[in-house]
Amino acid sequence: MIWIIAWKNIWRNKVRSLVVVMAIAFGLFGGVFSSAVLKGTGDQRVREAVSRETSHIQIHNPAYIEDNDVRYVIDGNRETLITVLDTIKVIEAWSPRVKFMAMAGSANAGTGVVVIGIDPDKEQRVTEIHSLICDSCGSWFKKGRGMSVVIGQALAKKLKVHLNSKIVLTFQDMQGNLTGGAFRICGIYRTNNSVFDEMNVLVNRTDIIPLLTADPGACHEIAIRLTEPDMADPVQLTLKNLFPSMLVQDWKEIDPLLGMLNDFMDLWLYLFMGIILLALGFGIINTMLMAILERTRELGMLAAIGMNKQRIFILIMLESVFLSLTGGVIGIIMGVLLTWYTNHTGINLGSLTEGFEKIGYNPILYPSLDLIFFINLTIMVVAAGILASIYPARRALKLRPAEAIRNE
Amino acid sequence: MSIITIEELKKSYRDSEVAVQALNGINLTFDQGEFAAVVGPSGSGKTTLLNMVGGLDKPDSGSILIGEVDVTKLSSRKLIDFRLKNIGFVFQSYNLIPVLTAFENVEFIMNLQGVKREERKKRSVELLEAVGLGDRIHSRPSKLSGGQQQRVAVARSLASRPRFILADEPTANLDSVSTRNLLEIMEKLNHEEKITFIFSTHDQRVVNKAHRIIVLEDGKVVKDEVKITSEIR
């Protein structure tokens, strides 16, 4: 029955309650949607970076990470490594790469790039670069075309080259001699990360190995894609144990900034919502204090007829929780609806495209939030209601029935 | 047999810098089935006395035995529970819960006592019928007249099956018709159910109906008179 009284009590002063309910609703609506935009953007960045840049796990010769010297290929028992990679079920695909710094030059300009020598068939099962070549921008590697290269749109612009243009890649071979070759551009890709596009060129490993004078199986990096991203830790541990001489890193270690973005995003969102709820909590405290002031006589009567302090506390607390929960639910529903809608349509920040792409973000935002966030947010709303009720409830409990009853 | 025994009850208040002796050595006993009015001028200590007997305030000294229990010695937690089980209150300003119907107001106190739902329901209807509000059980206080609200308050005070009912100026806000109705109901309950009523009042109409009149002045009992009429018992 206390529940019913509490619920009815909050609607005794409809205008006042509606004002605080709407304040909570719009506060949470704004908070939820902002969180969804942040989370969606962060997740999108992580997803794209993993699928286009880092993959889930990479294996290197530790010395290669230190020096980036072309001589530090993955040594040891490569055959055993390949067998193990083919055996682990959660490994969806893996791709061996040779990877080194080079100078890329066209007739018009030159710049430093990272050359990634790949097995095209294996690579397209690990990364999505092949799918980022538009219809008019050429195609992924095809046999019998001679020495081909796939470059990013930003690099093409910098070198002032087009599809089918030739660029010259100059680099050091395994013996430290300067070498190079001319490659015809067979495809131009475009990710949402213009820095990545400007830096990375892809060539066929079979074309580059002879120029490097490396052995045919040589690779500096093995990129691994998992069926379950959450399995990165156990797979990494297994590979570390089996191949202690190799450096096995997951995507968070490969790109620490990305890892931090992923790990701290949730914490940041909860902190953000917590601050909003703290501010709204003061509104609830104020409303509840006013309600108690107005109902001094009634609270005195309740104590007089035998309602104990615990029940009075629960009554005040329930009123506060109902206020916060009513506003919270409305705000969360509004936030969910807008998140759901914009998740389908996307938010196109076209005018900010260049800026977004320079930091690797997609200018079309797709807000999204996990179900667990809404569950936790609802718990936080209830907790805020409870916390906001403590001070008003204590005030109510201090009332002396004999005096309160005679209050005008 | 006495249900209330008050001995040497004293209570003083500090009003600004001046100490006011609200009760100055009260000795009284009340028996089961009494219909008593405590009268006296403003500031004579009527309400203070009722507050003490009702366990709403603590005396400076003296004792109040209700049955075997000295309520002045109870902790505030035990006192609340004691009030719930033993004392019914009727206040001057009705003090009903405005968001509940007449029925729910009466039911609420039994809910606090942990009475089962079916029994609560049955007794609430019976009590409201007893006070002549059988047709208004689902009305909220705002839809009832002052007299009707006070009758709901009487029904509520009876709901917990208390040993006695304390009524502080119950007719102060009522017109003469409502006052007459209310007093008739209370008198009937007193006569038929042997329910003890103790009023504090200024109202001559209440005094006229009371069977015992206790006059307070300056915190002391100056007169304690039992009316012997053929109507009594």
What gap in Å lies between CA A335 and CA B125, rounded to an integer?
A: 47
Q: Which residues contact B105 (CB under 8 A, 6 or more apart)?
A: B96, B97, B141, B152, B156
B172 touches chain A (CB under 8 A): no
Q: Which of A303, A405, A406 sits opposite B80 (nearest CB)?
A: A303
Q: For residue A397, which residues of chain B lie inside 8 Å, CB to CB?
A: none
What part of A 294-353 touches B (C-beta under 8 Å)?
297-298, 301-309, 311
Q: What is the pLDDT of residues B38-69, one digit of tens each?
A: 999 888 888 899 999 998 888 999 999 998 89
For residue A305, the distance in angstroms to the closest alpha carbon of chain B comes to: 6
CA distances to A79, A80, A83, A235 from A239, in Å? 14, 11, 12, 6
What gap in Å lies between CA A109 and CA A125, rounded to an integer?
A: 33
Q: For residue A13, which residues of chain B lie inside 8 Å, CB to CB?
A: none
Q: For residue A401, which residues of chain B lie inside 8 Å, CB to CB?
A: 56
- Judged by CB atoms closer than 8 Å, whether chains meet at A12 and B109 is answered as no
Q: Which of A306, A309, A405 sits opposite B84 (nearest CB)?
A: A306
Chain A residue with minimum CA distance to B113: A306
**pLDDT for res A165:** 92
- Judged by CB atoms closer than 8 Å, whether chains meet at A12 and B99 is answered as yes
Architecture of domain B34-59+74-226: 3-Layer(aba) Sandwich (3.40)
- Judged by CB atoms closer than 8 Å, whether chains meet at B98 and A298 is answered as yes
DSSP, collapsed to helix, strand or coil, labels residue A35 as helix
Q: What is the 3-state secondary structure (H, E, C) of A319-362?
A: HHHHHHHHHHHHHHHHHHHHHHHHHHHCEECHHHHHHHHHCCCC
Chain B residue with minimum CA distance to A399: B56
Q: For an interface test with A, give the residue of B48, B82, B93 to mutate (most A CBs within 10 A).
A: B93
CA distances to A44, A195, A212 from A355, in Å? 16, 11, 37
- Judged by CB atoms closer than 8 Å, whether chains meet at B80 and A1 is answered as no
For residue A338, the distance in angstroms to the closest alpha carbon of chain B comes to: 36
B81 touches chain A (CB under 8 A): yes
Q: What share of chain B is helix, strand, coil (3-state, %, to 5)?
A: 40, 30, 30
For residue B13, the distance in angstroms to the closest alpha carbon of chain A comes to: 13
Q: For residue A318, which residues of chain B lie inside 8 Å, CB to CB?
A: none
- Judged by CB atoms closer than 8 Å, whether chains meet at B51 and A402 is answered as yes
**pLDDT for res A265:** 84
What gap in Å lies between CA A160 and CA A106, rounded to an integer?
A: 8
**pLDDT for res A360:** 67
- All structural domains of chain A with their residue ranges: 2-50+259-405, 62-245
Give, as one character, the DSSP assignment of residue B92.
T
Q: For residue B156, which residues of chain A lie inside 8 Å, CB to CB?
A: 305
- Judged by CB atoms closer than 8 Å, whether chains meet at B91 and A301 is answered as yes
Q: For residue B159, which residues of chain A lie inside 8 Å, CB to CB?
A: none
B58 touches chain A (CB under 8 A): no
- All structural domains of chain B with their residue ranges: 34-59+74-226
Q: Region B146-174: what's the mean pLDDT?
A: 87
What gap in Å lies between CA A274 and CA A266, rounded to an integer?
A: 12
Q: What is the pLDDT of residues B131-152, one digit of tens each?
A: 888 899 999 999 998 889 988 9
Q: What is the 3-state secondary structure (H, E, C) of B16-68?
A: CCEEEEEEEEEEEEEECCCEEEEECCCCCCHHHHHHHHCCCCCCCEEEEEECC
For residue A25, the distance in angstroms to the closest alpha carbon of chain B comes to: 25
Q: What is the pLDDT of residues B188-209, one digit of tens each?
A: 888 887 889 999 988 888 888 8
B84 touches chain A (CB under 8 A): yes
- Judged by CB atoms closer than 8 Å, whether chains meet at B99 and A9 is answered as yes
Q: Which of A12, A297, A303 sits opposite B93 (nearest CB)?
A: A297
Size of interface A-B (CB pairs under 8 A): 66
- Judged by CB atoms closer than 8 Å, whether chains meet at B57 and A303 is answered as no
Low-confidence ranges of chain A (pLDDT < 50): none
Q: Region B195-224: what's the mean pLDDT?
A: 90
- Judged by CB atoms closer than 8 Å, whether chains meet at B99 and A8 is answered as yes
pLDDT at B231 over 60: no
Q: For residue B79, which residues of chain A lie inside 8 Å, CB to CB?
A: none
Q: For residue A314, which residues of chain B lie inside 8 Å, CB to CB?
A: none
Chain A residue with minimum CA distance to B81: A306
- Judged by CB atoms closer than 8 Å, whether chains meet at A298 and B54 is answered as no
Q: For residue B111, which residues of chain A lie inside 8 Å, CB to CB?
A: 1
Chain A residue with minimum CA distance to B162: A305
Q: Burial of A112 by CB count in 10 Å (0-12 exposed, 13-18 middle, 19+ buried)?
A: exposed
Confidence band (pLDDT; 50, 70, 90) for B233?
Answer: very low
